[in-house]
Structure 1
Amino acid sequence: MNALTGRLFAVSVLAGFFLASSSAFAASSSIDGIWEGSASVRGQEVPLRLQISGPATDLHAALLNGAEQSVASSAKLQDGKLLLNFNYFARSLEATVAGEQLTGTFGTTSASPKAAPRVPVTLHRASAVSNVSTGPDIHGDWEIAVSSSKGESAWQLRIDPATRDAAPATIRAVIQRIDGDTGSLYGAWDGNQYKVSHFTAAGPALYSIVPRENGTLLVSNLLATETQKVQARDLVARRPAEARKENLAAPTESTEQTRIKDPSAPFTFKFPDVTGKEVSSSDARFRDKVVIVAIGGSWCPNCHDEAPFLESLYKQFHGKGLEVVNLSFEEEDQLQNPTRLRAFIQRYGITYPVLIAGTPDQLTEKITQADHLNCWPTSFILGRDGRVREVHAGFAGPANPPAHQALEHEVTALVEKLLAEPRPVQKASF
């Protein structure tokens, strides 16, 4: 080996050493895996679980809620700073990585002064040890007596055993209201109560469920605002049979909440889509068609649950004469640049028209043909003659399997029935 060859060999060895060291550092600084911790919300600690995978150049992440995942639209790790965007809810998680701990905040990305403040989050690597206690058996169906602003007298509460994916938890609960369900709430017995919660891209939820000696449950929304506490404090849940014995009203049927003022008149709409193009019920594409007009907003979690079902109906029956149109009511800052609505459309692969109808407080001003319209979402199902045949308030999502399956079956059957009706006879013009 001559001097030149020796120097080249030495440089090669050093380069290999530094490359190996760099790779080792990258591996040791990886944040792959499950992270768990909590978010501080209104004086309460809400459990939070996060899964991160991939190298820094191709990072992926998702908030975990049992077997359910809220997948991040984008994930970035740079200089010890983690940024996860959930564009379909206009929210983000920002955290600093320090060893085995992530510390940061979660909340809206909106610059609006009306936006809710971001909440602090602290996470550490998940432990394989899970200590949970099994409490009293409260599985099954319950009814919660309420007096809500939407006119309800009762909500449904369903409690099931937690799946293996829900560690650390022993029960899964869901509250079904007229406008939709809470999503899956997981929790365990702490010796005095079940605390059930979730933390998804839509945000946190936390409830306590206290079994009582008289066979009822005391249910409290632990994250209720001051306004909500009037309704959310000390709610009592009873088995349905016991509620009937006490002459308490059952939960309102979804088809009984909203009515059409004049059922003989065609349902009409005219709003722009996300590109600014105006779409109207008088357009040729809707003529003689069965139409589902879905009222919602990309800020609404239950509207996110409804979107995949509407898209599946559209794909299944569009060729037979079904049209679907979404009338979306968005906050003022989103009207100027509907980035969240575009992300919503992309996330669910929506191919039917999505129109921007106004702001949420303009609902009854813009949709004038309905009476007692106050639920997000609400769907109007029109026959081929343009008249409303049925109105469905709210949406029972996958977190409430029996109600979700029943709703899917009912709406699908109605669509098939309306598609089988003859097309209206067009009057001759002279």
Structure 2
Amino acid sequence: MLLLLSLATFSTACTAQPEKPLTAGVWRATVKTAGGELPFGLDIQPGADKQTFTVHAVNGKERLPMDAATYRNDTLRIPMSLFESEIVARVEGKTMRGIWRRRRTGNEYQSIPFEAQHGLNYRFTPDGRAASVNLTGKWATTFRSTDGTDTTAAVGVFEQEGNTIAGTFLTPTGDYRYLAGNVVGDSLLLSCFDGSHLFLFKAKAKAGPAGRTLTGTFNSGPTYAETWTARFDPNASLPDPAKLTFIKPGQKFSFSFPEPTNKLVSLSDDRFKGKVTVVQILGSWCPNCMDETNFLSPWYKKNRSRGVEVVGLAFEKSAVMAESGPRIQRMKERFGIEYPVLLAGTNDKAEAAKALPALNRVVAFPTTIILDKKGQVRHIHTGFSGPGTGVYYDQFVDEFNGLITKLLAE
């Protein structure tokens, strides 16, 4: 159910009782979606200043830091400013209830009910019910819109121990990040909450003449839904991410966009001349882009002395610097980015392609373009396989480093 609640109304309701202490530790949290309850973990610990709390969202192996949380008048606020969202909940002992909300436009917020219980660390099922199937391995997957007009190919990669399972889905435009859940009998249950995306996967496993299959539903956010099917296939694969986007014949890649300070940065600037340059097409709203940034930011600090440069081209919800500049700056601060990130336009793929006319198209955020010392595009990688993909992430890192080393040696 979609609720539109004002912060003022919620705050008034939450200040009626005397303040009680907030219990630190692990909380099992849920938000309500059209597909049912979506569970995730929250680890809440007192901050060093005793006035705030550090909070991590827990999805399998991932511990994703939220912004510093505040607790006043029995109300806990956990902001996720990068994604313009927050959890606001009233605490009553070892229970908290409230909303997760995300800004849509202006002062309008999309909100859904939130609840958490202290001391519970299971995902979907508390009773240890056994799994009757083991889904470890690779699955050739197809997602379908509810009207059947749109399909997306994917590869599911799962690791299961007992009735606990973790993994993700890789697609041509990126992955679904860290998914965690349970296998109960022949039912697969997976979820992820990262402050921006709310993912809930459910499926039934079946063995038949054509092999093992999964048939289920996928819910994203409060209302979006798809169906999906998968077939166990150790050789499942996706199109080559290096062949989806390319430079048009006879075109030369270039750009000129402003930083949040309004300083114009161009590919023809001296800082890029004679250097291997990595161009990151991204958005501050995009969790896959944040995974790539979490790789590129420390990589740049370690490798820039070798003669490499990195520059980010941010395509945001607004092309107005007064609105999007602060978002870019928050992203730079959060990830310690020391390379320029420019406001290049709005987060529409067609508009991004218009802003970079040398490209045949922009298929995904992120897209990574690598140029040699002469300014020639040598490689374009569509999407990003983040750390939640395991060996696929390791493979990307190895190939990326290998290509940079090769270009530096030329």
| 2:36 pairs with 1:44 | yes
| 2:180 pairs with 1:144 | no
Listed as ranges, the gaps of 5+ residues in structure 2 are 1-17
Match of 2:51 in 1: 57
Alpha-carbon distance in structure 2 between the residues aligned to 1:402 and 1:194: 22
Alpha-carbon distance in structure 2 between the residues aligned to 1:316 and 1:118: 41
Q: 1:178 aligns with which of 163, 172, 190?
A: 172
Match of 2:386 in 1: 397
Match of 2:80 in 1: 86
Query: Which has the larger displacement, 398-407 or 198-207?
Result: 198-207
TM-score, normalised by the number of residues in structure 1:
0.81
Alpha-carbon distance in structure 2 between the residues aligned to 1:99 and 1:78: 14
What SS class does the counterpart of residue 51 from structure 2 fall into? Answer: helix
Q: How do 1:377-416 residues align onto structure 2 when only pairs under 5 Å count? A: 377-416=366-405
Q: 2:120 aligns with which of 99, 105, 127?
A: 127
Task: After TM superposition, give the deviation of residue 59 of structure 1 in Å.
Answer: 2.0
Deviations 1:46-72 (A, max 9, x none): 013212121762322222212322222
Alpha-carbon distance in structure 2 between the residues aligned to 1:415 and 1:226: 42
CA contact (8 A) 2:255 2:267 kept: yes
What SS class does the counterpart of residue 95 from structure 1 fall into? Answer: strand
TM-score, normalised by the number of residues in structure 2:
0.85
Paired positions, count: 379
Task: After TM superposition, give the deviation of residue 340 of structure 1 in Å.
Answer: 2.8
Match of 1:355 in 2: 342
Match of 1:267 in 2: 253
| Cα 1:226–1:199 shift into 2, 3 Å | closer
Q: How do 1:268-347 residues align onto structure 2 when only pairs under 5 Å count? A: 268-332=254-318, 335-338=321-324, 339-347=326-334
AA matched with 1:47: P
AA matched with 1:121: F
Task: After TM superposition, give the deviation of residue 366 of structure 1 in Å.
Answer: 0.3
> Hey, which of these two has a bigger chunk of helix by percent?
1
Match of 1:158 in 2: 157
Q: 1:216 aligns with which of 212, 217, 222?
A: 212
Task: After TM superposition, give the deviation of residue 314 of structure 1 in Å.
Answer: 1.5
Q: 1:72 aligns with which of 57, 61, 66?
A: 66
Task: After TM superposition, give the deviation of residue 398 of structure 1 in Å.
Answer: 0.4
Q: How do 1:358-369 residues align onto structure 2 when only pairs under 5 Å count? A: 358-361=345-348, 362-369=351-358
Query: Which has the larger displacement, 138-147 or 356-365?
Result: 138-147
Alpha-carbon distance in structure 2 between the residues aligned to 1:216 and 1:226: 31
| 2:25 pairs with 1:33 | yes
Task: After TM superposition, give the deviation of residue 199 of structure 1 in Å.
Answer: 1.6
Match of 2:199 in 1: 205
Task: After TM superposition, give the deviation of residue 210 of structure 1 in Å.
Answer: 2.0
CA contact (8 A) 2:319 2:344 kept: no
Alpha-carbon distance in structure 2 between the residues aligned to 1:158 and 1:67: 15
Alpha-carbon distance in structure 1 between the residues aligned to 2:222 and 2:78: 30
CA contact (8 A) 1:152 1:178 kept: no
| Cα 1:396–1:352 shift into 2, 3 Å | same
What SS class does the counterpart of residue 285 from structure 1 fall into? Answer: helix
AA matched with 1:295: I
Alpha-carbon distance in structure 2 between the residues aligned to 1:112 and 1:202: 18
Alpha-carbon distance in structure 1 between the residues aligned to 2:46 and 2:187: 39
Larger-gyration structure (1/2) = 1
Alpha-carbon distance in structure 1 between the residues aligned to 2:203 and 2:101: 27
Alpha-carbon distance in structure 2 between the residues aligned to 1:63 and 1:355: 29
What SS class does the counterpart of residue 217 from structure 1 fall into? Answer: strand
What SS class does the counterpart of residue 371 from structure 1 fall into? Answer: coil
Match of 2:363 in 1: 374
CA contact (8 A) 2:34 2:223 kept: no
Alpha-carbon distance in structure 2 between the residues aligned to 1:128 and 1:365: 47
Alpha-carbon distance in structure 2 between the residues aligned to 1:400 and 1:371: 28
| Cα 1:408–1:335 shift into 2, 3 Å | same
Alpha-carbon distance in structure 2 between the residues aligned to 1:303 and 1:144: 23
Q: How do 1:80-119 residues align onto structure 2 when only pairs under 5 Å count? A: 80-109=74-103, 111-112=105-106, 117-119=110-112
Deviations 1:86-129 (A, max 9, x none): 1222211101112321111112145437x761111011212378
Alpha-carbon distance in structure 2 between the residues aligned to 1:234 and 1:72: 31
> Hey, which of these two has a bigger chunk of strand by percent?
2
Deviations 1:128-186 (A, max 9, x none): 7842333201101222146899x9873111011359xxxxx611121001111101211
User: What is the CA RMSD across the aligned residues, in angstroms?
Assistant: 2.7
